[in-house]
Structure 1
Amino acid sequence: MILSASLTGLLQHIVKRLQDAFKVKDMGHVHHFLGIGVRRTSNGFFLSQTQYAEDLLERTGMANCKFVATPADTKGKASATDGTLLDDATSYWSLAGALQYLTITRPDIAYAMQQVCLHMHAPRDVHLTMLKHILRYVKGTTHLGIQLHAISSPTITAYSDADWAGCPDTRRSTSGFCVFLGSSLISWSSKRQTTVPTTTVAFCDNISSVYMSRNPVHHRRTKHIGLDIHFVREKVAIGELRVTHVPSARQLADVFTKGLPSALFFDFRDSLSVTTADVDTAGGCQRSTANG
């Protein structure tokens, strides 16, 4: 169990209450938890899974493999029908699961892992090659982890993006997002979007809205237009919302939706605070305060 509090006195009080009720021992500052190393730095915490990654490489016989610069190439996404089926998918499932745990402190491999996990039901040799490619990337980056920075003002910055019908099998899009609290990355995702297979039925008690859904002619006196469509415009006008442009070269969520060239990948990886211990980066806020 890991406990944290904003005040030392409050933390000590919680520990004392737990000790009064249960047989617990205060182990002091956390250094290692469930395979995750925790290192206190001058401005926060550095979380890494270096030992876990090295053990995984050793277990899979790839401790001496040649490393690659990025976890995914820039080619098109692999299809479910590419290559030939594996005779035994057990090792594929085991390896994919082990690498998935590494994404706790390595958001830089989230997209690559999302792609290989799409083929868990029927993995083929090309998908196994993708898995080994990720391992070769991990080989050269076992020292990396995620830096969490202490902050004085909690500002939230989020980036989101999606490719357009990128899946070669379903034509679904891959969506990704990353959320920063101050300059610390606290949430991220890479996921193939779902689709609705049947028609959605919406019941509405306003007959005008029903007519407009069938014949979308703009009418200046339609109250739903003013209240709904212009809601964002109103917030912008009164200064409660800012809508700004973020260039593609600064759209951090791209790293969760597609394979990137090495130079751009390295830049985005640094912005995600995936680094070595006690190296100051400013996440997405360093390069742009706009949401994507």
Structure 2
Amino acid sequence: MDLHAVLTPPLSFPLTPFTEDDALALDVLAVHVEQQVAAGTTAVFIACGTGEFTALSREEYREVVALAVKTVAGRVPVFAGAGGGPAVAREYLADAADCGADGVLLLPPYLVSSSPEGVLGHIRYVVGDSPLPVIVYQRANARLSPATALALLDLEQVVGLKDGLGDVEQMQRIVATVRTSGHRRARSFYFLNGLPTAELSARAYRAIGIGSYSSAVHSFAPDLAHGFARALESGDDALVDALLAAFLLPLADLRDQVPGYAVSLVKAAAVREGLAVGRVRPPLVEAAEEHVDELVRLIAAGRAVLAAAATTAAVTTSSSAAEESK
């Protein structure tokens, strides 16, 4: 799998829906995943951070992953989250393979802090002889150095690194170390921007060679996620700036008001958009109604920016056609 060609932004990280009595709402999940694929995502990352991986039982995890695989039906790759302590994470990798996932996003180890060499040892232990390709999520207590990131290339199952730390200088060191190493996998190794509201840092990461990013916005407003991605790819800086100012920057400000809003606010927004994904599980807290109201206003503002840009483009195209016909 050539991840550079396949995993182009924005990548989808679906929510996990729950019923009023706290069971999995699998019918809603099927609709949600179908909508994400239909909107144009190039990959589905199921049961990851936005999907409340840590809140799921192992049985629920298997149900969620299996349903995502069935719903996607091979149209795009399905990566499943996996994490916890080393032995438990190994079991989740096996579950993901049994459920038909195309790959795994390896989340940071549970609680324990270590050195970059220790994190590398954890990754080596977890992937073992897993048949699935693995993308490592560098975040929180899972921090790699350029040397240990380079060592990942010797683990055949590890195909990429997702960064959630946001240290652009350190990531530049890692990318440069890998790309110039002469290792046979140096050019194919995949890097992914995994910061919360990754659109905010997309330009900076593109500048150091990391073009792909995850998008929580895709879970509740895929039209905005794709509109931003198209503007970024085409070099439409005016539209990128307008979407940042009207929608994405105030969204990040709202998200930062309460720990856990990167999930619960997204879930509340999806409910307001008509998808019955239900509540979050503890320790996450529900988004305050006034904050959800504000997000709804921001979504409308973002869509107004896209609509205005589309109108301007249509007028320009019409004028050009008229000039050519003279």
Normalising by structure 1, we get a TM-score of 0.27
- Structure with the bigger percentage of strand: 1
Which structure ranks higher in relative contact order (CA pairs < 8 Å, sequence separation ≥ 6)?
A: 1
Q: Which has the larger radius of gyration?
A: 1
- Structure with the bigger percentage of helix: 2
Normalising by structure 2, we get a TM-score of 0.25
